[in-house]
Amino acid sequence: MKKAAPHTSSAARRKAHFTTAVQVAGIAALYVLTFAGLLAFTLLIIEVVRRAGL
């Protein structure tokens, strides 16, 4: 493989790092949304059961 020019490799590295950061942020957001959804669903179930119990 031919070695790229220093500034090109630096820019590519920065772009790759930025892309990775965006992917990590996206995955983290997905996890948070999933967790929030599960929490809301659980609270909804608990509320329904509580009202049915009363």
In a domain, 38, yes or no: yes
In a domain, 4, yes or no: no
Q: Is the pLDDT of residue 1 over 80?
A: no
pTM value? 0.56
Sign of CA dihedral 45, 46, 51, 54: positive
In a domain, 46, yes or no: yes
Q: Is the pLDDT of residue 16 over 60?
A: yes
For 30-52, the pLDDT digits (tens) are 999 999 999 999 999 999 999 99
In a domain, 2, yes or no: no
Query: Between these two residues, 15 and 43, which has the higher pLDDT value?
Result: 43
Do 13 and 21 meet the contact criterion of CB atoms below 8 Å apart?
no
**What is the total residue count of the chain?**
54
In a domain, 1, yes or no: no
Q: Which domain holds residue 48?
A: 13-54
Domain tally, the chain: 1
